Structure 1
Amino acid sequence: MSVDSPREIGERIAAHRRARRLTQTGLAAAAHVSYATVRSVERGARRPSDDVLEAIADALHVDAAQLRTGYVGAERRVHRALPALSEAIVGYDLPLGPPIRPPGQLADEIATATGWRLSAQYGRIAHAAPGLLADAIRYVHTAPGAEHRYAARMLASAARTADALAYKHGAHDLSARLIDLMRWAADRAADPLVQATASYVRTETFFAARAHAAGLVSLERAVDAAPPPTGRTEAAVLGALHMRAAVVAGRAGSADAADTHLARARELGDQVEREGTYLGTTFGPASVRIHEVSVAVSLGPEHVDRALRAAHAWKPNTDLPAERRSGYYIELARAQEWAGRPTDAFDSLKAARAVAPQHTREHPWAREVARNLRRFHRSDAESLSHFARWVGAA
């Protein structure tokens, strides 16, 4: 059950509707519900059912979890989609005929799904990803010679988006298989930037196995193989590798390596100058600053002051993807909890949930911090108890 009142849900819906410059009549038409339903929901006179909530969320181009805090339909859709993803990729090396979608439509839909990944809208990805993967695989096998590399780049992007579902929801074996598919596609794209991006994503397998030393070796090889940073895209791809290498080095307990990679990422961030998304990865000065907090937290509680200094009087701009902003607040909450600042830690968890509820709900560190706050700070407000139940830490 949602902890939100019908009025709170209605106010969120109304805010998103106005942001999209829709009237209530326009929203009703887009969602295929009655005007009376939209009006009563926005006034708080009616709690929307799951079906109505999802229809309104789709019309507003947001995930339903952004409208109702306790909504878990997206998680159910994700877990139902995992077997379909496995089926879609099991014969990826076998030609099974032409894709259903024409190449232009397939490219557009994969790009849309990439946007959903960056904004942590996993429920929407779950609906689309199996079909997109199946068509992207078929396109690789049937594309004319001149289009083959283009098709392979599309498949690498589709596999990465599908991997977000598997990895974030704990299906690490499936995640590893999707990453293998991404690397297979990247090799066929014969594009060193796509190959570098695949190496960046491959680090998830090392995170999942806690094999941080091996992960650092893998990333440092990718850094050596990456194209020189002669342009903005090349600098961003290389900078992202250094950012991730810094975090992996921190988790491996190598502070010197972490600092070296972070310093190089900072230089490349300055070279890129402005934040942007490059081959599906966000990079720029703000991302580097977020990773300064990540590296300090990865190094452990004895580096908590460093994490808090990096975060002092700063917060990520709303132009950054929701998943990255949510991750920042979760890691900051961990540092604040270590520092004995439970109120600040809970505020950061709430900020993470407001930005990307599905990402926060599935993040093990969000559960860990919420569990610790309840265990060691018995005077918590009732809202913390609600949050802990929602995130699965109760």
Structure 2
Amino acid sequence: MADHIGQRIAARRRARRMTQADLARASHVSLPMIKGCERGVRSPGPSTLEAIASALGVDASRLDPAYVGTGRRVHAALPAISAALAGYEIAMDPPLRPLAELRDDITSAVEWRLAARYGLIAAQAPQLLRDALAHLHSASAAHREEAAHLVVAAARAADAAAYKYGAHDLSARLIDVMRWAAGHAEDAVLNASVAYVRAETFLATGAHRAGHLMLERALDACSSPNTARSSAALGALHMRTAVVAARAGSADAAHNHLNEARTLAEGLPDGIYLGTAFGPSNVRIHEVAVSVSLGGDHIGRALEIARTWSPGEEVPAERRSGFCIEVARAQLWSGSPSEAFKSLKEARRHAPQHVREHPWAREDIETLRRLRRSDASLTSYAEWIGAV
């Protein structure tokens, strides 16, 4: 039995048929650190442990039972993120890093967001925000648009951690910063991207009709797309509008927006466009989300898709995890608890931090446990997710 962290890392790595070099690349941790951890001569810090655990598809507590959890680290960082936003409209201190370095660091933060690595984001977000804002305030006309994009990307990364961990007031402030920064760039596509994120505010509060109206207005303000980037931004906005319309009970509107997104995805490869995943696979994932949001007779469509298709590695881990959570809910509602539990385990494999903070995942595990209290593996999962 593995009795130290390194042995657990090595056992998980071998079970996934990964070399040490594979794990180093997937986790963005140096190969010497991976080798040292596995030999027991180096001890990973919290952020390194989380990065390795995420690459292995497990929660960090599975590698180190004494680990206190990502949640504590994120909540500890929230006041610093909030402080970084104070007086965001005012030029204050100069940035600590040059623009090229900031660009690379924010690119890493975007990758962490898409991989649901919230602990890593929370640790870096305060200074990323300060530096991005400082660059925007001091930018020349030639660099103002890029600086505005960097502020939006940094705020969006921070928002992912704030939103997932229930800090919805801070999330709303971060979205205000995104909207303000977007106003400094003459880029309609960036405005569409910010509208996509702003929908979180309405989803968090259950104000689905208001959110649907806001998104419709954002779509009306969009120009006809003429590049892959603009097509993807408009398509992503249609995908999110479809989900919000479904939550508002507007089935016709939801399906109309899905069809628009599907048309825009034709000929576009699945990929990341301005920080948002879009393409044919992402549209199909949203079709499942729409079906589950509408409920009732629509659930069958979600189950039909899940029987014959699942997203591949071209889709970010957080979105693959979300697909599995949506499918699990459809399976549970249709009377297939065993299949629902399989889907929730698959969701955890893709993005454990995302699953652990997802309210639907916790609700469904609570329901499954009431149905099958004698299942030890289900009890273990419920303890991990905080449902007991």
TM-score in same-fold range (> 0.5): yes
Moved more, 225-234 or 200-209: 225-234
Aligned equivalents of 2:45 and 2:145: distance in 1? 42
2:302 pairs with one of 279, 301, 307? 307
Aligned equivalents of 1:97 and 1:374: distance in 2? 53
1:388 pairs with one of 356, 363, 382? 382
Alpha-carbon spacing, 1:372–1:78, altered in 2? closer, same or farther (3 Å): same
Aligned equivalents of 2:124 and 2:78: distance in 1? 12
Encode CA deviations 1:112-136: one digit per residue, 9 max, x unaligned: 1001100111111111111000111
Aligned equivalents of 1:16 and 1:122: distance in 2? 25
Alpha-carbon spacing, 1:59–1:252, altered in 2? closer, same or farther (3 Å): closer
Contiguous gaps of at least 5 residues in structure 1: 42-47
Question: Is it true that 1:93 corresponds to 2:96 in the alignment?
Answer: no
* SS of 2:272 mapped into structure 1: strand
Give TM-score scaled by structure 2 length.
Answer: 0.90
Cα contact 1:17–1:60 (8 A) shared by 2: no
Encode CA deviations 1:7-59: one digit per residue, 9 max, x unaligned: 6543224536241478xxx967336xx84x52359xxxxxx97x457546657
Aligned equivalents of 1:86 and 1:257: distance in 2? 37
Aligned equivalents of 1:54 and 1:170: distance in 2? 21
2:168 pairs with one of 162, 166, 172? 172
1:298 pairs with one of 293, 310, 316? 293
Aligned equivalents of 2:185 and 2:19: distance in 1? 39
Alpha-carbon spacing, 1:312–1:237, altered in 2? closer, same or farther (3 Å): same
**Superposed counterparts of 1:364-383, under 5 Å:** 364-379=359-374, 381-383=375-377
What corresponds to 2:12 in structure 1?
12
Query: Which residue identity does 1:134 align to in structure 2?
Result: R
Encode CA deviations 1:40-95: one digit per residue, 9 max, x unaligned: 59xxxxxx97x457546657994995554365432221111100000000110111
Aligned equivalents of 1:208 and 1:265: distance in 2? 23
* SS of 1:315 mapped into structure 2: coil
Aligned equivalents of 1:159 and 1:52: distance in 2? 25
**Superposed counterparts of 1:9-88, under 5 Å:** 9-13=9-13, 15=18, 17-20=20-23, 29-30=32-33, 35=36, 38-39=38-39, 51=44, 54-55=47-48, 62=55, 66=59, 68-69=61-62, 71-88=67-84
What corresponds to 1:236 in structure 2?
232
Encode CA deviations 1:129-173: one digit per residue, 9 max, x unaligned: 110001111111111222112111110111111100110110000
Alpha-carbon spacing, 1:155–1:342, altered in 2? closer, same or farther (3 Å): same
Aligned equivalents of 1:16 and 1:323: distance in 2? 24
Aligned equivalents of 1:340 and 1:321: distance in 2? 29
Question: Is it true that 1:249 corresponds to 2:245 in the alignment?
Answer: yes
Aligned equivalents of 1:188 and 1:86: distance in 2? 22
Moved more, 92-101 or 344-353: 92-101
Alpha-carbon spacing, 1:84–1:256, altered in 2? closer, same or farther (3 Å): same
Question: Is it true that 1:148 corresponds to 2:144 in the alignment?
Answer: yes
Aligned equivalents of 2:46 and 2:38: distance in 1? 10
What corresponds to 1:214 in structure 2?
210
**Superposed counterparts of 1:345-360, under 5 Å:** 345-360=340-355
* SS of 2:308 mapped into structure 1: coil
Cα contact 2:149–2:190 (8 A) shared by 1: yes
Cα contact 1:63–1:121 (8 A) shared by 2: no
Cα contact 2:54–2:117 (8 A) shared by 1: no
**Superposed counterparts of 1:309-328, under 5 Å:** 309-328=304-323
Query: Which residue identity does 1:311 align to in structure 2?
Result: A
Cα contact 1:237–1:278 (8 A) shared by 2: yes
Encode CA deviations 1:197-245: one digit per residue, 9 max, x unaligned: 0000000000011010111111111111123122211111111011001
What corresponds to 1:45 in structure 2?
none
Aligned equivalents of 1:214 and 1:346: distance in 2? 34
Query: Which residue identity does 2:201 align to in structure 1?
Result: T
What corresponds to 2:114 in structure 1?
118
What corresponds to 1:136 in structure 2?
132
Question: Is it true that 1:163 corresponds to 2:166 in the alignment?
Answer: no
Q: What's the CA shift for 1:322?
A: 0.4
Query: Which residue identity does 2:379 align to in structure 1?
Result: S
Aligned equivalents of 1:260 and 1:64: distance in 2? 36
Say how many residue pairs are matched.
377
Alpha-carbon spacing, 1:72–1:360, altered in 2? closer, same or farther (3 Å): farther
Moved more, 78-87 or 369-378: 369-378
Matched-pair identity in %: 50
Q: What's the CA shift for 1:318?
A: 1.5
